[in-house]
Chains A and B, each alone.
Chain A
C-alpha cells in the first residue's frame, strides 16, 4: 500500500490555493450550533465545492473504498477513530463501529492505508473492475468512448455558416479517434445525418413544428428493432433493466449515426463541404424558421438509444431564436421583438413559459440518460438561452454566448473543449455527488450545474434551496472548474442539544462518482471537519470563521435564484437589509453613532462586494437581455469562488511608466491620461488606454526604436490579458479601447462613480467622469454605517 501512495502523494503544492486542498470553501468555517443563532448570522451556512478540481496532491487509490454500514455508508477517512488492535474503525459521522475486512488485516499504526493519512482528506478511488482476471483484457474495450453529437443551426447567413464549418473542421481534427461523433443540422427542419451509410449521404428529416417524443424518435429511426423489446434479446423474464445494464442495449444500431471520429472524419468533412444554409424560403418581414427545440429533442432522442451511462454531449451551435415548434421563443414575425426582462416581468412573453417547460422536460430526459447539453449561442439578438438554461444547467453543460461564430469568444471557447493536455477542461461525464454529514446538519439543496436525484433521507432539510430534497445530485457533465454551492440548515435534535455530549467538530463527506476524460470511473471522497460554536456569546469565533468572498458569491447565487423563482422580489432591498443586519450583528460600533462603526477584517470588504453586486448584471438585469442574464448566472453558479468574485467585483490593474503594474481602485478616479488600465470583469477583459497613451500610440511612437519603453508599456497589459484569456472558459471578450472612445463604456460601467457629472467641478485633468445618478461607494458606505448602528 505504501507503494501505491508514493505515486499520488506528490506533496503540498496546495499552499497557495485559496480553496485549500479539498476544494471546499464555506461561508462560515465555524458553525453556530442552533437554528436561532444561524439565522442571526444572516449569511446562510453554505459550502462551495469543486468536486473534481485538479489537484496535484491528489491521492489515487487503486482499490474500492471501505464504507460504513448503511444507512450512513460514509467512506473511511482520516477522521475516523481507528482501533488497530481490534481492527475496528469508528465512523466520525454516525459513530458506528465497523470491522476492517480481511484484506485490511495488515493495518497497524505504522502501516495505514492512504485514506487514513491525515493530510489526505481528499482521495480518489480508482477501483479495478470486479473481476480482476478479466480486468486487463476488458480495460481497453470496456472504456466507453465519449460521444459528441453536434447540432448545427443552418438558418445563418453564408458567412456565419462558413465560420461554423471551419470551427467544426477544427474540432473534428482535435477529437480523439475513438470518440463517437454524430451530426444533426437544423433550420426549418431537423436533419439527422446517418454517417454509417456509404452509398450516399443519408439524412433523416424531422419536421420542425411538431413536438416529438423520444419513443417516436427511436421508433422512426428504427432503433427499437434490436433489443429494447422485452424478450427480443435476453432470456424470457429477464428484467429489462438488467438488459440495459449488461450492455445488451442495441447500441449497435445507433452506430449508424454515431461513428468513431477516425472513421467518419472524411464523411463529415464532405458533409460540411456540402452543407448549405437552410433553403426554405423566408418571407419578407419574417425571421427564418428555426426549430431549435425539435433539433435538441431529436439529438436527445437519438442518444436515448445509447446505453445509459455512456458519456455523451450534445453540442449545439445556435445562431438565432427558435421560431418554430416546441421551444419557440418568439414568433416568425419580425415586428414582434424577442422578449425582454420587462416582458418577463409583466408576463408579456407569450412563449416563455411553454418553452421553459419544454426544456425542463428535455433536461429531465437528458439527466435520465446521463447526457449533457452544451450550448454555443452566437447571434446579435437573443437565441433563447434564458429558456434553454434549465437544460444546460441541469445537465452540467457548457454555455458560451457570443455575437458571431467568427468571434474569438466562440471560436476559441469552442476549440477549448476539444483540447487535450494542460489546457484541457477535463470534461467528465456521469457524475454524482453524495453528501454525508453529521447529525444536526440538514441539507437544503444545491445551486449549480446539477440535478437533484431526489434521494430523500434524514439529512434533507424541510426547506429547499435550488436542487433539494436529496442528498445526492447528478452532474451529467462536470469539469475541473465545476463548482456547486450546497446550503445547510442547522437543526439540532433534542438529544444532541443536550450539553451532555459535546462534540466540538462536525463532519461532512462529499462523495463524487464520475467518469474521467479517459473514460474510467472514479470516486473522489472529500471529508471535511469544522467546529461548532456554542451559544450566542461567541461572536468572535464566528467572525473568525467568516469567509467574505465566499459569502459574497453565495449571496449572489442565492439572490439570483430568488430573483428567478420569486415574483416581485426586490433584490436590492433584500441585499441592503441583509447587509445592514450583518453589519449590525458583527460590526463594532456604538449605538446610533455611525462614526464609531468598524468592521473586523474578515468583513471589511464585504460591503464593497455588496455595493458592486447591487450594481452588477446579476441584480441590475434590466441592462441586459434575458439571454445574457441567464448566461451570466449560469457561469456564476458553476465557477469557482475566485472567478465568481471577479464577476461581482472586477479587478483593475494600472500600467504606467513610473511604476510596475499595480492593482487599482475600481473607481473612476483610477482613470488617468497616461495610464493603461486592464479590467478583468470575467466576461470581458478591457484594456483601456488613457488619452495621452492613445495619442502616442496613434502617432506610432511604439514603432520607433527610441520609444521601446512605450512599446513595452503597450504590450504589458496585452500579455496579461492573454494570460487571463488563456485560462478562462468561456473565453472572455477582449475589448481594447481608448479614453472617451465608445468602447470605453465597458470599463466605465464597472467603476465606482465617485466622480459624476454632478461633481464635475472637482475633476482633475486627465481623469474622467461617469454620467450616472448611481450612488458611489462612499455614499453607500455612509448610509450603511448610519443604518447599521441604528437601534
Chain B
C-alpha cells in the first residue's frame, strides 16, 4: 500500500496535460506511467503494490556501474585449451571473432570500456584500437590473448569465484566489458565486486565514453580521433581492436577490447578490414559528426551494440576454423564458446540524442536504450524510425542487401520526461501550409528559394509559392530568418491545429462503452466481478469534463443495456434478446455524460455481480453484444471495451470450438493447421470494418479459462485500432490487479480518436504496405478509430525511382486525430535520411531493433497464412540472406570458415533464433496463445518487440547484494538453462508475463523474505506479490515496478517451481537451449554459417 500513496498523489492524470497541450508533457506522461506501474492493486490484495519509488528518473541515476560490468566475458573460446572449468563446452579459438575494426572504434567509444579495462585495456581503448591495423584483428595481435591464453587468464579468476558460479568466472576478471550481457548474472556475484567498483565510477566519467561521442563536442578531443581514423589506415587497426571485444558479445562491451578479450576474436581476422575501410570512410563523413552530439551527455551512452555510425561489423563468432568440411563443422559446433557469442547487453545510462547535426541525420540510439531526444529537424526515433538509417539509392541495392526498408511509426510514443513537448502550431483559418501538388505538410526540409518567395517540396520536388503572410526573408545560409522560431521549420515533429476543412463533423466526444460478459462461466470464475471492480476503480481516471461519455452493457445469451442517467431513480436494464439481428434499445441515455451518471454507474457496477449471481446461462453472445453496443455508439464513435470470458457461442459471429480439432491437427503437423489461426469466417471482419467506419475502437479483455478463438475475435480490435488483452487461465486471485491496471492504462494513456494517417515519402520511394491495427479503405490512408501511445504501425516501402547519392530521402507521417478533449489536430512526423549507394553503408546504418521488429511482424502476419515450418524457414532465411549478403559483398576478404556478422546486426541470429522458438512459431503452442501472440505482435512497438521474443531474465535471490541504484534490471542473464541454478530465484519478463522461477534448493530464508513462505510448495502458480519488510523484498518490488514502468504493462506474475509443470513453461523461454524441435544458439550459428557457405559456394 505504501506504494499506493505515491500513486494516489500522482494521479494527476496525464490527460490533462495531454489535452491541453496536445502532447502530453513528458512529466505528466511519466506520472501516468508510473501510476500504471505501480499498480494500485485492486482491492483484493494490497500486496503487490509495493512501490517503486516514483520514478526516480532513470536518467538521473548514477548507476552506470552495471554497464561496465556487462561486458565481456572473456570468451575463452579456445577450445583447445578446453578447460573444463569454464563450461562444458570449451570454445574453439576459431570460433568467435569479431571484425573488430570498425566495431571497435565505435564500440569502444560508446561503452565505457574503462572500468574493466582498467588495467591493461585502457590504453588500448582509445588509441590502440584505432591504430591497430586491421590485420591485427586476428588473433595474433593479441597473441597472448589467443584463446588458450585467454582461458588461462580467466580461469584463474574463475578459480576463486567459481564456487558460486562456475561459468562466470572466466569472464569476470578479464572481461569486465563483456560481462554484462552474458554470464554476468552469475558471474555477478563473484566478479561483481571487482567490476562494480570500477565500472560505476569510471565507465561514465571515463574517457572512453566521452570520447566516442562526446569527443567531438567538447570534452574530448576524441572527436579528432575518429575523424582521423576514418581517413587513414587507422581504420583498419581499429577494427580489430574494437571488434574483438565488443562485437562478439554484447555490443557495447566494446570495452572489452582491452582485455584478453581481444583474443577470442581471432576469428575476426582480417576479414574486417575490407569493409572496415570503406565503412570507415563513410563514417568520417557522417558518423563522426553525429556522434559527438549525442554522446555528449554526461551520462553514459547506451550500452548496446549500437555504434551509431554504423559501423559494421561485429562479429563473429564463427564457427570453427575451416568451413570446408561440412561434416567437420557439424562435429565442431562445440567449438564455439557459448559465452562469447553475441548477446544483448542492457544499458541503463541515459544518452542525449540530437536527431540531426550539421545538417546530417544522426543515427539513433537503440530503441531499447534510455535516451533523451533533442529534436532538431528529424523526429524523435521513438515516434518513427527506419530499418536503416541510410536509404539505398536504388531498389537493386536494397534487394541486394536483403534487408527490409520499413518505418516503425508510434505516433504517440511516450517521450522521455526530460524531452520538450511537441509544439502546437495554429495557422489560423487557412490551415497548415502544404505543398500544393503532393499535399505534403510544411517541414524543416522544404527549401525556401528565391528570397523566400517560393519553396520547394522535399517530398515531390514541386516549387510552390510562399503565401504572403508566411513570407520571410532568407538568411545568408539560405534559411529563413524565422526558421528557428517556427516549430514547423525547425522541429521534426509538430502538431497543427486542424481547421474545419479537416473535419467532416464536430470533433467527437470521448466515449467509453464497457460491455461485460455475465454468462455462467464468467460469473463463476469471478471474471465479471473483476471486470466490474476494475471499471469502477478506473472511472476516476477517465478524462474529466462534459465531453466524457460512458455507457455500459452486460451480456450472456442476450444483451443487457443500462440506462444510467441520473434522472431516473434507479438504473434501468434494457435487454436485447435477439442476438441474430441486434439493435440498440434506446435512442438516447445509453451513453451519458460521466458526470451525470457517476453515482448510478458505480452503484450498478457494484451490483452487477450479485445481480447475475445465479445466472445459469452458459451462452455468450459476444458478436451480437459488440454489434449492439456499436449501434449505440454509432452516432459518436468511441472506445468499446469488452470483457469476454468464454467462447462466443450464440448470435451473430458465434464461433465453434475449433480447439479440439486444432490440437490434434497441430500436433500431427497437419498442413492445414494454420487455418485454425485464421478467423473462422468473415462475419466479425465485416462488422469490424463497419465499426471502423463509424470510429468505434474495440479493446477486448479476455478473462478466460477456456479456448475463446482469439484468431477470430482478434480481428475486431485489429481492424479498429484496438487491442486484445489476454488473461489465461484467468485467476481471480492474481489477475484482477492486472486487469485493473491494464484498463486504467488503456483509458488514461495518451491517445487520440477518429484518426487518419498517411505516410508520404520523397520521390523515388513509395509506400508499399501499412501493417498494424487499423482499417484501410483507400490505398493511401489508414483509418484509426483510436490510436494510443502503445500502438505501432509498420510501413514498408519500395523504390519506384533512383535517388542521387548524397541527396536525402524524406518521410513524413501525417496523423489527423481528435484529442480526448475534443480538439482536432494534425501531428506531423518528419524524418529525412541520407541516401547511399554503398552496400556497406546500409549495413553500418542498419537498425537491428527496427529490422527485427519488422521480421517479427512479418512472421506474425505469415503465421495464419502458411504452415508453421514455412514461416520458421522464411524467418530463418531472412536472417541468412542478410548475413549472406553482408558476407558476400562486404566481407569478401575474410575466410570462408568464419561467420562474419555485421556489427549493427550481430544480434540478428540470436533474435531470429528466439523468434523461431517463440510462442507464435512453436509447434507445441496452444492455439489461442499463438493467436494472441500474432495479434499482439501486429501493433507491438519496437521497445516491446524485443523482449517479447527475447525476454529479460535477472536473478532475484541475490538482489540484496546488487547496487540499489535503479539498475537492478540491467544484470540480465542469458536465456540458457545453464545459467539457472537450483539455489536461485529468477525473474523472467517479456513485457507481458513475469515468471518467477524458484529452484529446488533455494534458501528458505530468501523465500521467506521474498514471498513470505518458507517453501513454495503450496504457493499457487498465480502469484500475488506482496511487499515484506525487508530489503530483499523491497528491491524485488522495485524491480517489478520498474519493469512495469518500462513496459507500460502490469505483468502477469507466475510462479514456476523446479520440477513442476510450471517450470517447463519457464524453460520454454530458454531460447538458447537446445530443444527437441529447435537448435541451441551455438548450433543455430553453425547452421546459419553453413547455409551462408552453401550459398557462397
* Residue positions of A touching B, CB distance < 8 A: 188-189, 191, 194, 197, 199-207, 210, 212, 216, 220-222, 270, 274, 279-281
Contacts and interface: CB of A to CB of B under 8 A. Distances in A.
Contacts of A279: 586-589
A207 B573 contact: no
B575 interface: yes
Nearest to A199: B611
Contact of B570 (A189, A200, A220): A200
Given A189-B585, A220-B577, 7 more contacts: A201-B570, A202-B560, A205-B583, A220-B578, A220-B579, A221-B577, A222-B558
Nearest to A274: B568
Interface residues of B, number: 28
B583 A189 contact: yes
Nearest to B572: A201
Nearest to A197: B573
Of B574, B577, B587, B617, most buried by chain A (CB within 10 Å of CB) is B577
A216 B557 contact: no
Contact of A205 (B570, B571, B585, B604): B585
Contacts of A210: 578, 581
Contacts of A199: 607, 610-611
The secondary-structure label for the interface of chain B is loop
Nearest to B560: A202
Contacts of A281: 587
Contacts of A274: 568-569, 572
B943 interface: no
Contacts of B576: 204-205
A230 to B, nearest CB: 20
B588 A202 contact: no
B583 A207 contact: yes
Interface string B585-611: 111110000000000000010010011
Interface in B1-59: none
Contacts of B589: 279
A222 B617 contact: yes
Nearest to B573: A202
26 contacts: A189-B583, A194-B575, A197-B573, A199-B611, A200-B570, A200-B572, A200-B604, A201-B570, A201-B572, A201-B573, A202-B573, A202-B575, A203-B575, A203-B585, A205-B574, A205-B577, A206-B577, A206-B578, A210-B578, A212-B578, A216-B578, A222-B617, A270-B569, A274-B568, A279-B587, A280-B587
Contact of B577 (A188, A197, A204, A280): A204
Given A207-B578, A207-B583, A222 B570 contact: no
A221 B575 CA distance: 9
Interface hub of A194, A274, A280 (most chain B Cβ within 10 A) = A274
Nearest to A271: B572
Contact of B558 (A197, A207, A220, A280): A220
A372 to B, nearest CB: 25
A201 B572 CA distance: 5
Given A210-B581, A279-B587, A279-B589, A203 B573 contact: yes
Which interface residue of A194, A207, A270 has the most chain B CB atoms within 10 A? Answer: A207
B619 to A, nearest CB: 10
Interface in B277-334: none
Contacts of A191: 574, 585
A68 B780 CA distance: 89
Contacts of A202: 560, 573, 575
Nearest to A221: B577
A189 B578 CA distance: 13
A191 B573 CA distance: 11
Contacts of A189: 583, 585
Nearest to B558: A220
A217 to B, nearest CB: 8
A223 B582 CA distance: 19
A200 B573 contact: yes
A373 B581 CA distance: 28
A205 B587 contact: no
A288 to B, nearest CB: 12
Contacts of B611: 199-200
Contacts of A270: 569
A270 B568 CA distance: 11
Nearest to A281: B587
Q: Across the A-B interface, give the 8 residue pairs with the lowest CB-CB distance, nearest first.
A: A220-B577, A205-B585, A202-B573, A207-B583, A280-B587, A204-B575, A201-B572, A199-B611
Contacts of A194: 575
Contacts of A197: 573
A203 B558 CA distance: 12
Contacts of A206: 577-578
Nearest to B557: A222
Nearest to B589: A279
B1070 to A, nearest CB: 51
A317 to B, nearest CB: 21
Max count, chain B CB within 10 A of own CB: residue among A201, A221, A280: A201
A201 B557 CA distance: 19
A207 B581 contact: yes
B303 to A, nearest CB: 58
B596 to A, nearest CB: 16
Residue among B561, B587, B604, B610 with the highest chain A CB neighbour number at 10 A: B587
Contacts of A203: 572-575, 585
B788 to A, nearest CB: 33
Contacts of B571: 200-201
A69 to B, nearest CB: 52
Most buried by B among A197, A221, A222, A281: A222
A207 B631 CA distance: 13
Contacts of B586: 205, 279
A657 to B, nearest CB: 61
Contacts of A212: 578
Contacts of B578: 206-207, 210, 212, 216, 220
A205 B572 contact: no
Interface in B495-534: none
A212 B577 CA distance: 12
Nearest to A298: B577
Interface string B871-908: 00000000000000000000000000000000000000
Contacts of B585: 189, 191, 203, 205
Interface in B544-584: 557-558, 560-561, 568-579, 581, 583
B523 to A, nearest CB: 14
Contacts of B558: 204, 220, 222
A252 to B, nearest CB: 14
Interface string B97-123: 000000000000000000000000000
A220, A221, A270, most chain B CB atoms within 10 A = A220
Contacts of B610: 199
Contacts of A201: 570-573
